[in-house]
Amino acid sequence: MTYQPPGTLYVVATPIGNLEDLTPRAARILESVSRIAAEDTRHSARLLNHLGINKPLLSLHEHNEAHRVEALDAYLEAGESIALVSDAGTPLISDPGFILVRALRLRNRHVVPVPGACALTAALSAAGLPTDRFTFAGFLPAKAGARRQTLESYLKREETLVFYESPHRILATLEALEEQMPARPVVLARELTKTFETFLQGTPAELLATLAEDPNQARGEFVVMIGGASITGASSEQAVDDETLLKTLLDEGVGVKQGAAIAAKLLGGRKKAWYERLLLMKSEAQIKP
C-alpha cells in the first residue's frame, strides 16, 4: 500500500449500476477520509449507507464547483483528506471535478486517483470495435444543427468514436447517424452492469429498426460507439470520394432522388440516408454566397 500524506484529495470511482463494482480500495478510502465531496449528496448517501459509512458530505456540482475550491483547499491545508465522488463511475469523465482538480494541482496538493467503473471503458472493452485508438466526444450537443456539425467534424476520422447519450435523445442521434454515417458499424451499450445490460450492433438503420420493434431497447443509459472511417470499408479517402461523388451528381444537375439511388448502388447504405445527405448538401450550396 503506497503511503499518502495527510491533506490528499482522492478521486474515487463508484459503480455505474452494479454495487459489486466498488473496489475494496475505494471502500477503504471512503472509510478513511474526513469528508466526502459528492455531485449529489443524497444520491451518494445511499451508496455510503449501503457500505455502512457515515461521513460529512458536501455537494460539488457544476453550479457550485468553482466556489467550493477554497473551502476544500482549506480542509486539505489543515491536513484532512477528502474523497471526491460523482453519482456514478469516474469523477471528471463527463462529470464535475475538473475545476477542483486543476486548482489543487496548481497549488501542488496531492491528488490521487482511485480507479474503478467508467461507462466509457466498460463499453469499449466489450463492444468488439477497435480500441487501439478512439475519440471520446462526451455528450453530443442537444440541438439538431449543432449535433450534425459535430458529427460532420468526425466524418473522416479513422479511430472509433465514442459518446454518451441519454435515453430521450437516442433515436434522434441514430437518425443523425443514419443520415451522416449510414454505412458505419455502430454498437450501443445499454444499462451496463445492470440487470438489463444489452449490446446492440448494426448500421444506424438496423439499430433504428431494432428500437422501433422493441421500444424497451430505447430506455436506460447508453454509450454509443461508431466504427471509424477505416473499418466501414470506407477509408478516409473513401469518405472523401463519397463527398466527391455526391458533389459531382449535384453539379451535373442529377436530381436528389435519382442521385440518392445512384449513391446507394455505388456506395452502399440506404437510399433515404443518401437522399437526406444530398438534400442537405444542396441546401448548403444554395446558402453559399
Nearest to 156 by CA among 71, 232, 46: 232
Given the complex with ligand SAM, which of 86 and 217 has the nearer CB atom? 86
Minimum distance, C-beta of residue 24 to ligand SAM, in the bound complex (Å): 19
Given the complex with ligand SAM, which of 30 and 249 has the nearer CB atom? 30
Minimum distance, C-beta of residue 236 to ligand SAM, in the bound complex (Å): 27
Per-residue HEC secondary structure of 150-212 comes to: HHHHHCCCCCEEEEEECHHHHHHHHHHHHHHCCCCCEEEEECCCCCCCEEEEECHHHHHHHHH
The binding site for ligand SAM (CB under 6 A) comprises 16-17, 86, 88-90, 93-95, 118-120, 164-166, 189-194, 221-223
Minimum distance, C-beta of residue 68 to ligand SAM, in the bound complex (Å): 18
Given the complex with ligand SAM, which of 121 and 236 has the nearer CB atom? 121
Given the complex with ligand SAM, which of 61 and 272 has the nearer CB atom? 61
Minimum distance, C-beta of residue 196 to ligand SAM, in the bound complex (Å): 10
Which residue number has the CB closest to ligand SAM? 89
Q: Which CB contacts under 8 angstroms, 24+ apart, belong to 192-199?
A: 192/16, 192/17, 192/119, 192/122, 192/123, 192/221, 192/223, 193/15, 193/16, 193/17, 193/18, 193/21, 193/117, 193/122, 194/17, 194/18, 194/220, 196/220, 197/17, 199/126, 199/127
**Residue 186, number of CB atoms within 10 A of its CB:** 24
Given the complex with ligand SAM, which of 17 and 185 has the nearer CB atom? 17
Minimum distance, C-beta of residue 15 to ligand SAM, in the bound complex (Å): 9
